Amino acid sequence: MKLITWNINGIRTFRDGIKKALDSLDADIICVQETKVTRDLLDERTAIVDGYSSYFSYSRGRSGYSGVATYCKDSATPFAAEEGLTGLLTNHEGAVGCYGDHAEFSGEDLQLLDNEGRAVITQHRIMCQENVKTLTVINVYCPRADPEKPERKQFKLQFYKLLQCRAEAVLKGGSHVIVLGDVNTSHQPIDHCDPSDVDDFGENPGRKWLNEFLHSGKQEDYRNVEEQYKESEESIDGIHTGKFVDVFRFFHPTRTNAFTCWSTLTGARQTNYGTRIDYIFADCQLTKEQFVAADIMPEVEGSDHCPVWGQLSCPLLPSYKPPPLCTRFLPEFAGKQQKLSRFLVRVDQKSIQSEQMDVLPGSQEEGERRENLHPSGPADISGKKRVFPSDSVAPQGKKTKKIKPSSKPQGSLLSFFKPKLTNVVPPTDTSTKQCEETLDKITTMQNSQQVSTTKGKESMVTDIAPEDKALLSGGSSHVFTSITTELQRNSWVFERQILKVNQPASFNFYPVTCV
């Protein structure tokens, strides 16, 4: 099997198409960082790629920021997948588990650490020497320590500790572990273009953590990591012996100028003035027994980082079905909203509300907002299934339409075209008969006077017999007026409905006069 990690500096790096880019990398598991994609911006072309299953983690606080994704070939489909390191974002059965001891972290810290979309974990089955083993791949994008924001330095160190806690817990649970991604710290002087220009290079807190996380801080010891691991799990020459190995340095312990990141402001890539901050870390046993090669790919452009790859001798055993975190199972990509029947049948309001609660929040573009969004709600890390508190919050700037159930049954379309006589006064038999006779006379006179256009309605009224005029002005006149007015109103309503059906654009209404 082969796996690749690459900080792509935006999913738009794949200008020629996602599938073409993934196929060109020729790997079973492709882990990318800094996708800059939030849930509301994720489109189907990016989420669903033929021949691959994908798993995303998104920033909850800022749009176009952070984010990681793991693409697995169908032949490398994982059986479990999880977003984040704390377990707070896990609310499905396909979780990885093994969260470790979080006693050093407060509930608020755990929420903030998983709030920026910096980790995706996939769990696979591999065949190692005729034995089926579990392999857990942790794809991470570690924070950068912004010099202008001192709180980010502490945030970065907390993320490192949480990453180590989770990786060692999964390893202790019986699975092989690979941690790969953009770690944002160059480990040794050999990994930096100008280490003498960095004050107190070895005193950097990030490098001290790497010395603890990795098996040895000495590059000459990488070839004998397995023997050293057996001898001691605590320390060698005062350096803490971690449980993971820098796979690139395992195969290239003395190679210089092997950088993976360059500044774009100075065009440093042309002169190879960079740093090596993208890594593949693997547990000691897996490195010694299964890894056969590892290297960097500086020839691949499109980002300020280059890919790093590693190859193992063990084959992958794909799962018959992707875990629930797979993007193809998201409601917007599963085809649930494209069915015409959803618009033609009466939908239960409770089911609509439950679907709205499952929708993850989108991006919140607030330039002045703090880099770590403080989610509302208390933390709960005691249960097995832990839900991120902000998952049920609607995206800012988008109002969720609430459907209020009507107390009256909804009528059919034909009901709009039926005449409504709610305001008509019920006439007596005598009045009705008289009105009908009068209307007949008016109609006859109108037909006889169509040749003369100047007389109009005035002649029709003046030629009415005196007894008919008395009827119109007498006690039964209100009946005639009510009927005529209602006929006019219903005719106008009918034409308005026809105009609405035939002309959805803007138009004017003209009432029709009935005589």
Per-position b or e across 242-255, b if 16+ CB within 10 A of its CB? bbbbbbbbbbbeee
Asked if 287 and 247 touch (Cβ cutoff 8 Å), the reply is yes
Q: Is 34 annotated as a binding residue?
A: yes
Q: Is 26 annotated as a binding residue?
A: no
Asked if 333 and 148 touch (Cβ cutoff 8 Å), the reply is no
Q: Is 215 annotated as a binding residue?
A: no
Integer CA distances (angstroms), 216 to 10, 99, 242, 243, 271, in order: 34, 25, 7, 9, 31
Residue 411: strand, helix, or coil = coil
The single-letter DSSP state of residue 299 is T
Asked if 377 and 107 touch (Cβ cutoff 8 Å), the reply is no
Side-chain-side CA neighbours of 305 within 13 Å: the count stands at: 23
To the nearest 10 degrees (0 to 180), the angle between helices 477-502 and 429-448 is 60
Instruction: Give rounded-to-5 percent helix, strand, coil for the chain.
Output: 35, 15, 45
First-to-last C-alpha distance (Å) of the chain: 87
Residues 1, 3: Cα–Cα separation, whole Å: 7
Say if strands 29-33 and 2-7 run parallel, antiparallel, or are unpaired: parallel
Residues 83, 90: Cα–Cα separation, whole Å: 7
Q: Is 102 annotated as a binding residue?
A: no
- Burial classification of residue 378, based on how many CB atoms lie within 10 Å of its CB (0-12 exposed, 13-18 middle, 19 or more buried): exposed
Task: Give the DSSP H or E segment for 88.
Answer: none
User: Could you list the active site residues?
Assistant: 141, 182, 305
Residues 283, 176: Cα–Cα separation, whole Å: 7
Q: Under 8 Å CB-to-CB from 207, ≥6 apart: which residues? A: 185, 186, 187, 188, 201
Asked if 446 and 463 touch (Cβ cutoff 8 Å), the reply is no
The residue count of the chain comes to 515
Integer CA distances (angstroms), 163 to 86, 152, 170, in order: 9, 16, 11
Say if strands 131-141 and 176-182 run parallel, antiparallel, or are unpaired: parallel
Q: Is the torsion defined by CA of 333, 338, 341, 346 positive or negative?
A: positive
- Which residue ranges make up the annotated binding site for Mg(2+)? 7, 34, 182, 184, 304-305
The binding site consists of 7, 34, 182, 184, 304-305
